Chain A
Amino acid sequence: MIQLTDVKKRFGDNQRWISNGINLDIADGQMTCIVGQSGEGKSVLLKQIIGLIKPTSGTITIDGLDLSKITEQEHRELFKKIGYVFQFAALLDSLNVFENVGISLLENGVPEQEVLPIVKEKLALVNLSPDILYKYPSELSGGMKKRVGLARTLINNPSIILYDEPTTGLDPINARIVFELMHDMHKRLNITSVIVSHDVEIFKYVDTVALLYEGIIKFNGPANTIWESKNPYIYQFIRGLPEGPIHTGAAAAETE
């Protein structure tokens, strides 16, 4: 279970609050999507959940462990339970697919011949052929990179996966493949998934949706009824309406 209690974050004393008192509970095995406008701090929130960025105040607990109170070693152990899929995959340029996917095992001294079948298995899970094992990230398409990134995350058999804008830069077909893959992982492996996105297509696959606006959660509810929701923020956001409580760039310019 992931619990965020009054999480606040700003970069510097005179800066605006990016997270301004976020409260959010994500149950085990749940697939949650955090949506919001660009620049709302969705990725910052996700990085706070995994501990890459420390909140200015508030607490984040994962399975009862308060991230602010654990040691570096405990945090490293926790990373094995939580996977993080980066927006642009963040594959290591100088390593091939095999080394990228198997890096956490290889760096822990597991012999290559033992790592190889595990890497192949994880690649198969994300529908990638072993033909790409010795290709470098620069030789892969955007969609393939994302899938390799997901396979790398799966190598530690995580119970939680955080996805940062998993379909950014992908065409609708590849975006759908990635969504289905995430959904499949979630169902098959009972993984708790938190997805940051502003693609409304994601609602078909997730259990709950949280809308982030002005640093707080303005809506948190089930995804299957979201299109019927009367919450003015979610109503405006999912329909992409310029009029409503959410200040869009265009609306703000007109006001000025």
Chain B
Amino acid sequence: MVIQFIDYLGMQTLKICDSVGKFIVFLLTIVRTLFTTRLKYKQLIAQMHYVGVGSMSIIFLTGSFTGLALALQSYIGFSRVGAEEFIGLVVTLGMTRELGPVLTGLMVTGRCGSSMAAEIGTMKISEQIDALTTLGIDPFQYLVVPRVVAATVIMPFVAVFSMMCGIIGGYVYCIYALGLNAETYIQIIQERVDLSDITGGLVKSAFFGFILAWVGTYQGYTTRGGARGVGIATTRSVVIGSIMILIANYFLSAFLFQTGMA
């Protein structure tokens, strides 16, 4: 019984090491391909459009309603101590430092990371990736690198849009629902928010873009089996991508704070 348990534990450890190893090798292949081959600009632009422009509507909704809710919650707290003028500051810092980048990362993972896994996974099981290889086209150069670069580059722009939606959402709630002073809301943001509060969020969102594309393309590229395999890859891309984004968020926040960059 004990031997079986140790055996099981050993097998699972080996499996995890194998998966992590393959994941890292995949990353190294992306980096090598990026620096040794020509970037496919057509695919890059198409992916930037898909990840960026295509995500605007969901980012508008999530950003706006997060700003509205944040303003409401802040009001509940600040009204108890008579500090309602700080709502604008809290909404802005919340959106720029944390909620904007993290929510954007999670939403885009759900929308684009999953579709990267599904698209590449379908290509994998229907031999389309093998077909590219036999035609002398590097699948990493054609499929993977443009997606990873596009998501990394475009995510800070998407995050800025999310931050703006959230801040405007908070403004709308404070002015039209709570009847607070519009000038106070804007003035405290101008006085108390530093550029580093925004740049830190942008750096994080670029990392999140990289993570979601890395996980999505890896899951797609390693898909096995038929439709079920594609389903599993898609689910994994969202679950693993989201968890990695949340973990990376803490470490990046700590790093940026300790180095004084944000």
**Which A residues are closer than 8 A to B by beta carbons?**
47, 50, 52, 76-77, 79-80, 82-84, 86-88, 90-93, 103-104, 107, 152, 156
Tell me the interface secondary structure of chain B in the complex. Answer: helix
Quick one: given A90-B126, A90-B128, A92-B123, are A82 and B134 in contact (CB under 8 Å)? Answer: yes
Contacts of A83 in B (CB 8 A): 134
Residues of chain B with a CB closer than 8 A to A80's CB: 136
Q: Is the CB of B135 within 8 A of A103?
A: yes
Main secondary structure of the interface of A (DSSP, over half): mixed
Closest to A50 in B: B134
Closest-by-CB residue of B relative to A94 is B119
Given contacts A77-B136, A91-B128, A93-B126, 17 further A-B contacts (CB under 8 A): A76-B136, A76-B138, A79-B134, A79-B135, A79-B136, A82-B134, A83-B134, A84-B134, A88-B127, A90-B127, A90-B131, A91-B131, A93-B123, A93-B128, A103-B132, A104-B136, A152-B135
A149 → B minimal CB distance (Å): 8
**Most chain B Cβ neighbours within 10 Å, of A79, A82, A156:** A79
Contacts of A93 in B (CB 8 A): 122-123, 126, 128
Given the interface pairs A86-B127, A93-B128, the reply to whether A52 lies near B134 with Cβ below 8 Å is: yes
Q: Name 23 A/B residue pairs within 8 A (Cβ), A-sorted.
A: A52-B133, A52-B134, A76-B136, A76-B138, A79-B133, A79-B134, A79-B136, A82-B134, A83-B134, A84-B134, A86-B127, A86-B131, A88-B127, A90-B128, A92-B123, A93-B122, A93-B126, A93-B128, A103-B132, A104-B135, A104-B136, A107-B137, A152-B135
Cβ-defined contact, B136 with A156, below 8 A: yes
User: What number of B residues sit within 8 Å (CB to CB) of A?
Assistant: 16
Among residues of B, the one whose C-beta sits closest to the C-beta of A158 is: B134
Closest residue of A by beta carbon distance from B130: A52
Chain A residues with CB under 8 Å of B128's CB are 90-93
CB distance from B251 to the nearest CB of A (A): 35
Q: For A164, give the chain B residue with the smallest CB separation.
A: B127
CA gap between A82 and B128 in the complex, in Å: 17
Q: How far is the CA of A82 from the CA of B40 in the complex (A)?
A: 24
Chain B CB within 10 A, most for which of A77, A82, A83, A104 = A104
Q: B161 an interface residue at 8 Å Cβ cutoff?
A: no
The interface centre, meaning the residue of B40, B122, B133, B134 with most chain A CB atoms within 10 A of its CB, is B134
B23 beta carbon closer than 8 Å to chain A: no
In the assembly, what is the distance between CA of A52 and CA of B128, in Å? 12
Shortest distance between the CB of A98 and any CB in chain B (Å): 15
Q: Chain B residues near A152: list those with CB within 8 A.
A: 131, 135
